[in-house]
Chain A
C-alpha cells in the first residue's frame, strides 16, 4: 500500500499544474492577508478574519479538486491505459484507495501552501498574537478544510470512477460550486450578500447539513462581538461537531463503497466512452416503456439531425463540417447532461424567484420581468460560458483525439472550411443554451400561471447570445493557436476569467478596453425594456468581434492540429500577409483591423471624452488630492444655498439635456466670507459658471473645483448669486449611475449629479481606510454625538442643507415631468412640454427631476395631491399604493403634525435602481419589481407593497419633515421612526399578530446583520448601521409601544416635529429619548434607556420545566410547576448604563387545551448565564410554557421559548 501510495504520489504530483498551483496559492494567501481590508474593529491577525478569509477560498475547492481528480481517476481511460493498469493491478481496491488519498494529499498541499502564504503575509503586519493566528489557520485546515476536502474528493472520485471522463468532473464541480452558493444564499449565510434565510426553521438543518460546515461556523460566531471574533476560536458546539462527523463518515464510507463496487465491476467500467445519447439509451433502457419512449425520441432527434444535414444544409464543405460537428456534439451524453443541468438550474432559479420575492412569504407574479432577470444576469451566462469553454475544446480537438484527423486532413478540405465549419457549429451552442433556459423559464412561468410573452425573451438571443458567441469564437481561436488541448482549455479559462470578471479591476485595469469590451449584463425592465446601455453594448460587441476577426485570420493556418503542415503556418509573416491582400485571410484580418479601429475610437470618444472616464485608481488619487488641497475649507464658514432655480431642457430620445440655473447663496454664519469653494460634477459639461462680484482665485480643473474670491466679503445675512449653464450627453459605454439616467422612456436625475456644489464636500473624500493610508491621508475620525453637540454648542442647525426649489422641466410632449414642489404651470412649447414646480417652503436640498411616459393616478386627500405614476396595466398596484399613501397621510397628519407639502408622488422606477424604495422630498420611488410585481392574490404572504409605501411616505415626516442633525443617530430619526410608522399602520390594517410576524423577522435580521458586522455594535442612540436603525430600531419601537402605548409614543414624536422642524434646531436621538421619557415612571424610563443606550443580546430559554401534584396548605391537591429561565448570551453584554442587573420577561403557562392558566413577569439576569428558577403553584395542570410571547426582548432564538412541561408524576 505504501509503495502504491508513493508511486501514485510521484505520478500525480509530477504534473506542472500542481506545482504552479502550489506557488500561486502561496502568493494568493500572502496577497489576501495584506490587501484585504478587514472591518472597522476586526484585526488582520485575529481568528475571525483569518478563518473567514480561509473559508471564502473553500468555495473554490470543487474546482481545484476537479482539476486534480482528472489526473487521479480518469487518466487511465483518457490515455488508453485502462486495460494495462487494471490487469496489472493485483489489488485494485488498494490502487484506487492510494489514488484517492494522494488526491486528498495534493489538494491539501494547495491549501497548506495558501495558509503558509497567509502566515507569511502576517509577518508584514503588526501582530497582536502570532500564536493565535497560527492556531486559527491550523483550526481552519483541520476542522474546516480536511473534512470538506475528503468529502469533495470522494464526490469527484466517485463521479470519475463511474463516468471515466474528465468533462463530467468539471461539470460536477461547476454544478456543486453554483449549487453550494445557492445553498449559502438560501440559508442566509453571512458569506453571501443575501439578507436572510427565507425560513428561520431551516437554519438548524442548514447548520448540520451544510457539507462544508460553514453555516455551523458562521452561526456560532454570528452573535460574537468584534473583540470576541478577534480573540476566540469557535467552540465545538453540537451542530458543528455533528456536521463534521457526518461529512467525514459519509465521505469515507462512500469512497469505500464506490471503490469496492468499481473493483467488482471491472472491466465493464473501463470500457466507457463518450457514445451517442441515442444508442446508450437504446442499449441500456429498453425494458421500460418510459425509457423506451425517451430512447425513441433521442433516436428521432439523431435521425432528424442526419436528415437535416443531408437535405436542408446545402452541399458545401463548411456547412458539412458544421452539420457534422453539430450532430456529433448535440447527441452526446455530455451535452444532454449540460442541458439537463442548465434546465433544472434555470427552472429552480425562476421558481425560487417567483416563490420568494421577499421575506415573510411574499411571492411575485410570474411576469416576464421577474422571470427573465432571475436567470439572465448570472445563471445563464455563467453556465453557458462554462459549457462553451468545455465543448469548444471537445469540438476543436475531436478530429485529433479520435484519430480521425488523418482521414480529414488528407482530403482537399481547406483550412477556411475547417475553421468556419467549426465556428458555425460552435455558434449553435449559445442558441441551444439560451433556448433551453427560455424553455425552462417559460415552463415554470406557465405552471405559476404567468402570462408568457415570448417576444421579450427573443432579446436574450442578442444580449446574451452575442457575448457567448464571441466567447465561443475566442475559444476556437485559442485552441487553434495553442497546440495542446488542456493548455488551450487553461488559457481560454484564464482569458474568460480575466475578461468576464472583475479581476482586472482589482489591479486598476477597469476601463472596458482592458476587458476587450466587457459589458455589464443587460437587464430587462417593463419600463425601459432592454434599453439604457444598448448603445454601449453594440459598440463593445463591434470592438470584440473586430478584434476576433484579426485573430480568426491568424487562427486559420493552425486548424490542422499538431500536423506538420500546420507548423509551417505558425511562422506568421506580417509583411507577406499585408501585401497578399488577395488572400481571404488577409482581407478578413484587414476588415478586423478596420472594425477594431472604428470601435476603439468610438469607445475612446464615448468613455473618455464624453463620459469623463476615471479609473478607480484615478478617482482615489483625485479624492485624496481634493482632501489635501481644500482641507482648510472644511473648517471655515461657507455660503449656504437658500434658493435653487433651474431650467432643464431634456431630450430623452437623444439622451441629452441642457441646463440653466441659479443659486441664491446666503451667509448664515456670523463672520464675513471672502472665499468660497465650488465644485462641478465631472460628467457635466459646464459652459459658464459666474458668481456675483467674485473671480476665480484658484482653479483645479482636474478636480473640477475652483476657489472664488469676492471683491467685497459677503457679510453675515448678505447674499450672492451663482449662475451657470451646462449640457450633458449620456451614453451606455460606462456603467450608469442609478440616479443619473437618461432614456427615451424614463429619465431620472438627482441635483447632486448635475448641479454645482458649494463649499467643501465631505462626499468627495476618500472613505476606504487602506487607500487613505496608501495615499498618505490621515485616519478618519468621526466625532461622537456628544462630541458634536459640544463642538456646535448644542445646536447643529449650521449643518442644514435646505433650500426652496424652483424647477422648470422641458421635455417630450408624451412625457410627464416631476420635480419637488407644486406644479404651478404646464404648457406646450412647440412640440414639447414645459412644466414648472415650486416648493412651498424650503426642503432638504435633495432636488431631482423625473421625466417619463408612465400612467398617472391622482387623489386629493386633506388638501394634499397624492399621485401614483405606474407602468401601463398595473392599475391594481396603483390602487394599493394610493391606499397606503392615503392611510399614512391621514395618520401622520393626525398624530405627528400636518404635512407641509401640497403633493406627494409615488413613481415606479426601473429595476436597475438598487433600492426597493427611496424617498426624496415629495417624491417616492418604488422599484418596479417589488412595487409592481408582487402577487397580490397570495393570502398568506406579507403585504410588502403596503408596508413599503407606508414606510416611504412616513419619510415625508421622518427625514423630510424633521431632518435629524447630521451626526450619530441621524439614521434612527429617519429609519427607525419610519419603521415605527409602518408598524402602526400595519397594526391598524392587519392586526397585532401581523406586526408580531414582522418583528420576529426584524429581530432575526438584526442578529444576521450583527453577525456580518465587523464593527463593535454601537448603542441605538448613536447608530447608523442598517441592522440597527431598521431592525433593532423596529424591535425597540415595537416593545416601547407595547409597554408605553401608541399614544405616548405619538405624543413624543409630535413634540419632535413641533420643536425640531426646519429651520428650528435639528433633533438628535437624545431629543427623541427625552420626549419619550417625559411623564414616564422611573421603571419605564429605565426601559427606554436600556433599549437606546445598551447593547444587550439575549437568548432566553426555559430549562427543567417539570410538573408534579402537591398538597397545599388547605390539604387540597395543587399543581406545582418548577422551571428555570436562562439567558445564554448574558456574558456578551458590551455596554451598560442601567443599574438594573436583570430584565423582566413575561412567562405564560397553558394547559392541555392551550388555555392560558397564568401569565407573570419573571426576572432574567442580564449579566449571568446562571438560570433563574421559580416554583409556581397553579390551579390547573400546566402543559406548555411560553416565554416572551409578545417578542418584547431582542431574543436571538425564539424557538426555545416554548417548551412542553415534563410530568414527573407519570414518570
Chain B
C-alpha cells in the first residue's frame, strides 16, 4: 500500500515567481491500477518523480507499506519499476543488452535469473524478435514497450508509468493497455495520464489533479455519481455557441454534422432544447476541472497572488 500524506513541492525558478507544483497531496493507493488524471502542468509528473524518489519533497510523506521512502529512497527503488514520460537510451545498444545492464543495476546478479526474466519480459512486451535491435532505432510504440519491460525487471511491487501512451497509435495504445492490465493484478500500478479514456478503460481507482492539488479521488463510478442528473446535452447552431457559453457552464462541445453538441453542467434543465444525459468519465473530468478552476481563480483573486 502506497500512502501519500501532505506532500508539498515548490520549484524555485530564475527571474520568475516560485511554482507550487504539489500542494498538500494526500492519497491512498492500493493494489491494481490507479489513474492520475490531469491537464498538462497539473503536477502529475512532479508527483510521479517524487514517488519514484527522483526528487525530494519540501514536506510531507510518501510511505510504501509504512516505510517512509523519502528518507529511505533505497527501499522504494528496490521495489520500483519506473517508466518516465520521456526517456532516452544509449545509441546503438540492443534491447537485450540494455535490459541486462538495467537488471544488474537493479541487483539481479544471477545470470540465469536475469536471462529468464528478460526472456519472459521480451516475450510479454512482444519484443523477442527485436531483442538484438538497437533501442535507439525502435519506433515509438516499441520503445514504450521496452520501457515497460525495463520497469517490470526485478518483479517490482510498485510500477509508476508517466504518460505512457502519449504519441502511440490506437493499436499500440490498445496493446499497451492490455499489458498494463496484465501486470497490475498483484502490484500497485500508478498511471499518470491526461487521456480520460485510458483511466476509464483501465483503472479501478483514480484521482484528478489540477494546479498542483488533488481535486478529486475515488473510483470512476464514484466520480460519475457526483454528476448524475447534472449533465445536459443540446445540439445548437455554431453561431449560438458563444451565447450558450456566456449563459451556462459548458463543460465540453463537439462539432457534429454542421451543428455543435454542447454538454452543460446544471442542477436544472438549462433550456428547453437541453436533454439530460448519463455523464461519462470525460464529462465528469471536465466538470471537475471546470469547477476547480473557477474556485482557484476566485481564491487567486481574493488573495491577490498571481500564480504562474
Contacts and interface: CB of A to CB of B under 8 A. Distances in A.
Contacts of A414: 74
Interface string B102-117: 1011110111000000
Nearest to A414: B74
Contact of B97 (A306, A321, A401, A402): A306
Interface stretch (A201-209, A405-413, A1183-1191): A405-413
Contacts of B54: 406, 409-410, 563-565
Contacts of B82: 406-407, 410
A368 interface: no
B93 to A, nearest CB: 7
Given A324-B101, A410-B77, A565-B56, A404 B89 contact: yes
B60 interface: no
Given A331-B92, A404-B90, A410-B77, A568 B56 contact: yes
Interface string A550-563: 00000000000001
Contact of B84 (A278, A315, A316, A407): A407
Interface string B93-134: 100010011101111011100000000000000000000001
A402 B101 CA distance: 15
Contact of A411 (B89, B102, B134): B102
Contact of A407 (B74, B78, B150): B150
Contacts of B107: 317, 412
A701 to B, nearest CB: 60
Given A402-B89, A407-B84, A564 B102 contact: no
B106 A403 contact: no
A225 interface: no
A895 B78 CA distance: 94
B52 interface: yes
B218 interface: no
Given A411-B105, A412-B77, A403 B87 contact: yes
A276 B92 contact: yes
B171 interface: no
Nearest to B77: A412
B193 interface: no
Of B87, B106, B109, B147, the most chain A CB neighbours within 10 A belong to B87
Main secondary structure of the interface of A (DSSP, over half): helix
Contacts of B52: 406, 410
A1089 to B, nearest CB: 77
B304 interface: no
A279 interface: yes
Contacts of A404: 87-90
A398 interface: yes
B104 A563 contact: no
Nearest to B154: A411
A320 interface: yes
Given A279-B92, A565-B55, A408 B105 contact: yes
B56 A564 contact: yes
Nearest to B55: A564
A341 to B, nearest CB: 22
A408 B150 CA distance: 10
Contacts of A275: 91-92
B30 interface: no
B91 A411 contact: no
Contacts of A407: 82, 84, 87, 102, 147, 150
B88 A403 contact: yes
Contacts of A403: 86-89
A402 B150 contact: no
A409 B53 CA distance: 9
A310 interface: yes
B80 interface: yes
A273 interface: yes
B84 A406 contact: yes
Contacts of B56: 564-565, 567-568
Contacts of A306: 97
Interface string A404-426: 10111111111001000000000
B73 interface: yes
B104 A317 contact: yes
A306 B54 CA distance: 30
A273 B88 contact: no
A376 to B, nearest CB: 34
B104 A279 contact: no
A273 B102 contact: no
A316 to B, nearest CB: 7
Interface in A274-316: 274-276, 278-279, 306, 310, 315-316
B49 interface: yes
Contacts of B136: 273
Nearest to B153: A411
A328 interface: yes
10 contacts: A275-B91, A315-B110, A320-B101, A403-B86, A406-B87, A410-B81, A411-B77, A412-B77, A413-B77, A563-B54
Given A315-B109, A407-B87, A412-B78, 13 more contacts: A276-B91, A315-B104, A315-B110, A317-B107, A402-B90, A404-B88, A408-B102, A412-B74, A412-B77, A412-B107, A413-B106, A564-B55, A568-B56
Interface of A: 273-276, 278-279, 306, 310, 315-317, 320-321, 324, 328, 331, 398, 401-404, 406-414, 417, 563-565, 567-568
Interface of B: 49, 52-56, 73-74, 77-78, 80-82, 84, 86-93, 97, 100-102, 104-107, 109-111, 134, 136, 147, 150
User: What are the 6 A-B residue pairs with the smallest beta carbon separation, nearest first?
Assistant: A403-B88, A564-B55, A410-B82, A412-B77, A276-B92, A315-B109
